[in-house]
Amino acid sequence: MTDSPSLLHEPLRFAYWVPNVSGGLVVSNIEQRTSWDYEYNVRLAQTAERVGFEYALSQVRYLSSYGAAQQHESTSISLALLLATERLKVIAAVHPGLWEPAVLAKYILTADQFSHGRAAVNVVSGWFKDEYTKLGLPWLEHDERYRRSAEFIEVLRALWTEENVDFHGDFYRVNDFTLRPGPYPVEG
């Protein structure tokens, strides 16, 4: 077995799943010892940062279900954790179809500015039909949900990296749109 030189120089990075929902969406009969509340999540983020975790991923759930009777919205809890930490990068899970990409792009840019470049998103295509249909939103079958997600990512990327964005896809449209300020300038 040979080691790839590029892998030898890349440090191992750690992330944790933010318990912003009650029960943590864990399917288990074992009593959960986490809490979904703000104070617990801030303490956990600060501890994770202190012991060397680089990332935190906030999960997304809108409808009370699957052991998550209570939940905080992913982008909001992510911003709260970014403001309560200094180095931790926080990734908010988001569903296309529930967000308009330009609105999310602006929200994430704001969080990115406030946190000096530590905000990110995890675009998930969704699997829970009721979260869409009970809000009166159309439910797309598997392949269409992933096609919409690809388009959503394309729009986000354009809005974060270009000016005067024009995009005319099957799911989203943007006409001569520029977001300012852009991403926080991070030295590389």
Single-letter residue type at 17: W
- The predicted pLDDT at position 180 comes to 95
Angle (CA) 51 57 60, round 5°: 150
Token readout for 124 is: 């998930």
**This prediction's pTM:** 0.88
State yes or no: pLDDT of 3 exceeds 60. no
Other Cβ atoms within 10 Å of 174 Cβ, number: 18
- The predicted pLDDT at position 26 comes to 63
Single-letter residue type at 24: G
Token readout for 130 is: 């009721």
Host domain of residue 65: 12-177
Query: Is 1 inside any structural domain?
Result: no
Query: Is 33 inside any structural domain?
Result: yes
Q: Higher model confidence: residue 184 or residue 2?
A: 184
Query: Is 23 inside any structural domain?
Result: yes
Query: Is 7 inside any structural domain?
Result: no
Give tens-digit pLDDT for 41-91: 999 999 999 999 999 999 888 877 766 778 889 999 999 999 999 999 999
How many structural domains is the chain composed of? Answer: 1
Query: Is 24 inside any structural domain?
Result: yes
Query: Is 131 inside any structural domain?
Result: yes
- The predicted pLDDT at position 60 comes to 87
Give tens-digit pLDDT for 4-20: 556 567 788 999 999 98
What CATH number is associated with residue 98?
3.20.20.30
Give tens-digit pLDDT for 110-149: 999 999 999 999 999 988 899 899 999 999 999 999 999 9
State yes or no: pLDDT of 154 exceeds 80. yes
Q: Rounded to an integer, what distance in angstroms lies between the CA atom of residue 94 and that of residue 120?
A: 10
Q: Which is nearest to 61 in space by CA: 11, 131, 119?
A: 131
Burial of 171 from C-beta contacts in 10 A (0-12 / 13-18 / 19+): middle
Query: Is 105 inside any structural domain?
Result: yes
Beta bridge partners of 123: 94
SS3 32: coil
Query: Is 116 inside any structural domain?
Result: yes
